[in-house]
Amino acid sequence: MRALHIFTFAVAIFLSVDALPYDKPNVYTIPLKSKSITRRRLSRRAIGSMPVNQEEPDVAYFGQITFGTGTPQNFDIQFDTGSGDLFVFGKNCGSPACEDKPKYDSGLDTSFTPIEGKDFEVEYADGTGATGDSAKTTIVIAGISVDAQEFGVVNEISDDFEHPYVGIMGMAFSDASQNEQTTPITNLINNNQLDNPQFSFKLGRDADQSPSELTIGGSNPDRYHTDTLTFTHLVDDNGGQWEIPIDNCVVDGEELNLEGRTGLIDVGSTRIIMPPDDADTFYAAIPTAIDNDDGTFALPCEEQHEISLVFSGKTWNIDPRDFTVEIDEDDCIGSVVYADTGSDTEWHIGSAFLKNVYTIFDQGNRQVGFAQLT
């Protein structure tokens, strides 16, 4: 989980608005990691297509971002809708997690501008922390250049940050940033570079080798049934997060009817995270579940359960393969786990659910849309 402690909420009218639509017609699509790229141009729109990889199995989703001009440097960066900061390992990163990993070298970047006197520091809810320096440069994502994008050049990071990617791009709203950064998506919107102030995800599943894709500037209707698309507006007090009301949760046909629950829609999280009391209520509907006292519940691996979430009156089912997860041979847990989410009524909805829907993050109208996958 990459949800953040929010420090600052700043509003700059006309200059830094997270939610204004614009008219310039550009929609860009990028799968989440590539080895080869094919790209075609139709009118003024560019579409980037590349094979998909992920941190397996279904742990994290990431793609290539180019940093800098002069000698551009390409890095695999995790996409995270639960945070608001962008960082990459710097060449001076001495932490064990940085060993033998690609690192950003500002000396090769003619567009690099250090931000004097501004350190970079971020801490995520899972305990991961990173520190370094703040800077600006040009980045390129899905063929779109973002000039003067602020980011962190990380010199130290938690030792247990052991992933195939070397940075994180926060895709929450800019006021979720712990470093007062403007997110790349918001910069693209403010610069009138997108057809729609939206981005969308299709998250693949390792078990059936389904593809993953990120679309910036709208959505890819080839990936979902348009007549099933249903939007839910963000709650007012969202702290810069993609947080929406949850109507209900259904476990093997039993409605939990927990009132006032909200869900933070988080591509950067693998599980569905509930407060402990709600997790107890959830697993009370599964007689065979056993609390492991570590945030997880053990389940018999041979069992299949029908789990659904309800948003704006529409029920979305979770594939049983995404709920009962084998973590070791003949050792399974449920993908609903428990932790301190910051509120007794706040859930964090990760890829265990999001693999089952096409998700549109509509920054212009401050809403999240789900649709049935094709």
Alpha-carbon distance of 136 to 147, in angstroms, equals 8
Closest to 197 measured CA to CA, from 366, 34, 61: 366
Alpha-carbon distance of 294 to 243, in angstroms, equals 26
Residue 48: is its pLDDT beyond 60?
Answer: no
Let me know whether 135 and 232 are in one domain.
Answer: no
Within a domain: 111: yes
Which tens digits make up the pLDDT trace of 315-334? Answer: 999 999 999 999 998 999 99
Name the band, by pLDDT with cuts 50, 70 and 90, for residue 28.
Answer: low
Within a domain: 250: yes
Which range is least confidently modeled, 38-42, 292-296, 311-315?
A: 38-42
Closest to 46 measured CA to CA, from 185, 144, 191, 192: 144
Contact by Cβ (8 Å): 108, 70 = yes
My answer on whether omega of the bond before 31 falls inside 30° of 0, hence cis, is: no
Within a domain: 19: no
Q: Residue 179 is encoded by which pair of tokens?
A: 């470093």
Q: Which of 18, 85, 195, 266 is catalytic?
A: 266
The yes-or-no answer on residue 85 being catalytic is no
Let me know whether 155 and 275 are in one domain.
Answer: no
Let me know whether 229 and 96 are in one domain.
Answer: no
Within a domain: 29: no
Q: Residue 89 is encoded by which pair of tokens?
A: 């390992």
Classify 175 as helix, strand or coil. helix
Let me know whether 147 and 228 are in one domain.
Answer: no
User: Number of structural domains, the chain?
Assistant: 2
Q: What is the CATH number of the domain that holds 276?
A: 2.40.70.10
Within a domain: 20: no
Of residues 42 and 303, the one with the higher pLDDT is 303
Which tens digits make up the pLDDT trace of 210-224? Answer: 999 999 989 999 999
Q: Which residues constitute the domain of residue 357?
A: 220-372
Beta bridge partners of 75: 65
Name the band, by pLDDT with cuts 50, 70 and 90, for residue 16.
Answer: very low
Within a domain: 198: no
Name the band, by pLDDT with cuts 50, 70 and 90, for residue 27.
Answer: low
Question: So what's the pLDDT on residue 192?
Answer: 87
Question: So what's the pLDDT on residue 261?
Answer: 98
Contact by Cβ (8 Å): 201, 110 = no
Let me know whether 68 and 173 are in one domain.
Answer: yes
Which range is least confidently modeled, 18-22, 173-177, 281-285, 293-297?
A: 18-22
Among residues 153, 175, 193, the one where a domain terminates is 193
Let me know whether 77 and 174 are in one domain.
Answer: yes
Residue 197: is its pLDDT beyond 80?
Answer: yes
Let me know whether 158 and 69 are in one domain.
Answer: yes
What is the H or E stretch that residue 277 is in?
helix 276-283
Alpha-carbon distance of 372 to 223, in angstroms, equals 9
Q: Residue 8 is encoded by which pair of tokens?
A: 């600052």
Contact by Cβ (8 Å): 211, 220 = no
Let me know whether 102 and 65 are in one domain.
Answer: yes
The yes-or-no answer on residue 280 being catalytic is no
Within a domain: 44: no
117 residue type, one letter:
G
Q: Which of 18, 76, 80, 322 is catalytic?
A: 80
Name the band, by pLDDT with cuts 50, 70 and 90, for residue 11.
Answer: very low
Within a domain: 357: yes
Alpha-carbon distance of 119 to 135, in angstroms, equals 9
Q: Report the sign of the C-alpha dihedral through residues 7, 62, 261, 282, in that order.
A: negative
Let me know whether 232 and 363 are in one domain.
Answer: yes
Name the band, by pLDDT with cuts 50, 70 and 90, for residue 34.
Answer: very low
CA–chain centroid gap for 1, Å, is 9
Residue 36: is its pLDDT beyond 60?
Answer: no
Which tens digits make up the pLDDT trace of 169-182? Answer: 999 999 999 999 99
Question: So what's the pLDDT on residue 194?
Answer: 87
Let me know whether 269 and 341 are in one domain.
Answer: yes
Alpha-carbon distance of 106 to 103, in angstroms, equals 10
Let me know whether 168 and 234 are in one domain.
Answer: no
Question: So what's the pLDDT on residue 143?
Answer: 83
Let me know whether 304 and 257 are in one domain.
Answer: yes
